[in-house]
Amino acid sequence: MRFFFPLLLLLLGQIATTSATQWRTLDPNNTLLMTLPHGKVVIELAPQFAPKHVAQFKALTQQGLFDHNKFYRVIDGFVAQAGPEARRDRAPNLTMEGEWQPSKTWAFTLVQKEDLFAPQTGFVDGFAVGYDEKDNHAWLTHCPGILAMARGNSPDSASSHFYFTIGQAPRYLDRIMTIFGRVVYGMNHIQAIQRTAVIAGDKTIAPSQYTKIIKMQLMSEVPKEQQIIIEVERTDSNDFKEKLKKRLARKSAFFYKKPPQVLDVCQVPILSRRLK
C-alpha cells in the first residue's frame, strides 16, 4: 500500500480545499447528455464564447441529427470525430468563433505567463483560455476533453461535424478552430471510443465496429429521473486561486526536488461533482 498514499494525498488535497462557494451549477439549457453504448457523457456548452456554434449544435441535437451517428475518425492521442450529413438549410456554414476581445471586467484567472503557445493562459468559467494582452484577444485552448467543430480548409466551413480532443493538447489548432464546449463528466467514456485509425500493418477496423452515439440530448429535455446533475468548480473563486498557488509550490514531501514553478493550463484539473 505504501505506493498508494503519496499521490492519493495529492488528489485528496484538491478535494479537501473545496467549499460551497467554489461550485456552480450548469445551465441545463446549455448542457448536453451524450449517451454512448458504454456510458454517459455530460458536456458544458459555451454560448458566451461561441454563440452561433452552440445555437446550431443545440438545434441539430433537438432535431435528433446526432442520434445513431458514428465516430468515424478516431485517432488515439488526438481526436474522436463524428458528424452526420446534414441538409444545408438545417446546418448552414458557420463563421469562425475561435477568438474574441474580452471586456476589461472579464473573470479571467491567470495560470501562466509566457506559456509555449500563448502570452498568457488562464481560466474563464472553467474553460482553459489563451490570452494576448497586446491586442486584447482571447481564445479557448485545445485541452483534452474540449468539444470543437470540424471544418474544411475554409475557415468558415464548419456546420455539423465535431470532435473531442483525447490526447496531449493539440494547441496548434487554437484560434483556427471553434471550440464550443467541454466534457465535465464521463471523459473516461470518450477515451474508450473505438479508434478507427490503426498503425501500418495492423488489422483495419470495420465501420460496423465504430462507436455509435445512442442519443444526444439537451439536459433540459431529458426526463427528470434520467438527468445527471453536475456542479463544476468555480475558476474565479479564491479557493481555486489558492489551489493554483499550491499546485505551483508543490510543498508536499513527495516533491523532494521542486519542479519548475510553472503550470500547464491543460494539466490543471477542474473538478466536477455529481448531485444526482
Residues 8-37 close enough to bind a second copy by CB under 8 A: 8, 11, 15
Q: CA–CA separation, 91 vs 51, rounded Å?
A: 15
The yes or no reply on residue 201 touching a second copy (CB under 8 A) is: yes
Residue with cell 485517432: 75
Q: CA–CA separation, 63 vs 82, rounded Å?
A: 16
Among 30, 81, 227, 235, binds a second copy (CB under 8 A): 81
Among 89, 135, 202, 225, binds a second copy (CB under 8 A): 202
Contact 45, 57 (CB under 8 A): yes
Judged by CB under 8 A, how many residues of this single chain contact a second copy? 75
The yes or no reply on residue 260 touching a second copy (CB under 8 A) is: yes
In angstroms, give the least distance from the CB of 105 to a second copy.
28
Starting at the edge strand that comes first in sequence, how are the strands of the sheet with 120-124 ordered? 109-113, 120-124, 127-132, 137-140
Torsion of CA 14, 19, 22, 24, to 10 degrees: 110
Among 87, 90, 251, 274, binds a second copy (CB under 8 A): 274
Complex with a second copy: residue 41 or 124, whichever CB lies closer: 41
Cβ-based neighbour number of residue 18 at 10 Å: 17
Range 119-148, binding a second copy (CB under 8 A)? 143-145
Residues 6+ apart with CB under 8 A from 119: 113, 131, 132, 133, 134
In angstroms, give the least distance from the CB of 187 to a second copy.
5
Burial of 205: CB neighbours in 10 Å, binned 0-12, 13-18, 19+: middle
Complex with a second copy: residue 172 or 206, whichever CB lies closer: 172
Judged by DSSP in three states, 50 sits in coil
Contact 53, 94 (CB under 8 A): yes
The one segment of 1-9, 27-35, 50-58, 208-216 that binds a second copy by CB under 8 A: 1-9
Complex with a second copy: residue 61 or 112, whichever CB lies closer: 112
| Pairing between β-strand 79-82 and β-strand 73-75 as defined by DSSP bridges | antiparallel
In angstroms, give the least distance from the CB of 15 to a second copy.
7
In angstroms, give the least distance from the CB of 123 to a second copy.
15
In angstroms, give the least distance from the CB of 219 to a second copy.
16
The yes or no reply on residue 116 touching a second copy (CB under 8 A) is: yes
The yes or no reply on residue 101 touching a second copy (CB under 8 A) is: no
In angstroms, give the least distance from the CB of 129 to a second copy.
16
The yes or no reply on residue 250 touching a second copy (CB under 8 A) is: yes
CA atoms within 13 A on the CB side of 30: 18
> What are the residues facing 94 on neighbouring strands?
158
Range 207-246, binding a second copy (CB under 8 A)? none
Complex with a second copy: residue 81 or 227, whichever CB lies closer: 81
Among 166, 179, 213, 219, binds a second copy (CB under 8 A): 166
